[in-house]
Structure 1
Amino acid sequence: MEAKILTFVQAQWPLLLAAVALIIMIFKGPLTRKAAGISEVDAKTAVQLINHEEAVVIDVREQKEWAQGHLPGARHIPLGDLPKYMKDLEKHRGHHVICQCASGMRSARAAASLKKAGFDKIYSLKGGISAWRGAGLPVEK
């Protein structure tokens, strides 16, 4: 039995390595957000922050994704361009800022960057625009 397992591992090591990498990626996102002190908000809470706290929404998706629809009033700053806009975002330092992407992964990275730059009220939209649409909330083009 041990010989069969060893033979399988030797023959399938690339597949096993990919499976381990996938497991790490699945669990690393939430752990990284917690370690960075990034709060996630669901779509309902995001609406409350937008409506009652005048939260600023930053969509960090790429142009093609943005053009397919985005949260009403969102500001488009692709994740790769975020460092260029830090100075401009300073005026929002005291506001609630919700970072948003397709699923929540890029927005967590953007939120971590803003947190590192000294922003305090930073959130990542849990599930991204997919969750927003799933909640039946409006998008604009």
Structure 2
Amino acid sequence: MSFLQNNIMLIVAALASGGMLLWPLFRRSSGKEVDTLVAVQLINYKDAVVLDVREGSEYNAGHLPNSRHIPADKLEQRLQELEKFKDKPILLIHRSGVNTSGKAGALLRSHGFAHVYNLAGGIETWRQANLPIVKK
């Protein structure tokens, strides 16, 4: 017991560093983040389904060509629309990254979608890369 008392700071530091090493494993549970280059490869060579989970007004202001739009808060009710794509890669798009798309990715994986990816930086990264955007 005196070892614990004498070395409490060392023990706390060891636990904290262990937690920091494990954090990325838990954080990535919502899906793999990909950059625009990998996203384009998924779309062009793997026939990925682009799923935009932003609100309607954001989607109408500009979205990826041929993307499907299901707002994140409606995704669970509309999962049947995606059933036929379970074996294809799904590329999730949000305004600025994984906040909402991470939750959407977790939902999709929990329903058997195996290949779910989040566009790192969301639609803003896509725009900054000067990749095609269509407006409705």
Q: TM-score, length-normalised on structure 2?
A: 0.77
Which of structure 1's runs of 4+ aligned residues deviate more than 6 A? none
Give distance in 2, aligned partners of 1:55 and 1:109.
19
List gaps (5 residues or longer) in structure 1.
1-29
Q: Aligned to 1:95, what secondary structure does the other structure show?
A: coil
Name the count of aligned residue pairs: 112
Deviation of 1:32 (Å)? 5.1
Match of 1:106, as an amino acid?
T
1:1-141 map, 5 Å: 33-34=27-28, 36=29, 38-104=31-97, 105-141=99-135
Match of 2:101, as an amino acid?
S
Match of 1:60, as an amino acid?
V
CA contact (8 A) 1:33 1:108 kept: no
Quote the sequence identity (%). 46
- When the two chains are superposed, the root-mean-square deviation of aligned CA atoms in Å is 1.6
Give distance in 2, aligned partners of 1:110 and 1:99.
8
Q: TM-score, length-normalised on structure 1?
A: 0.75
List gaps (5 residues or longer) in structure 2.
1-23
Give distance in 1, aligned partners of 2:30 and 2:96.
19
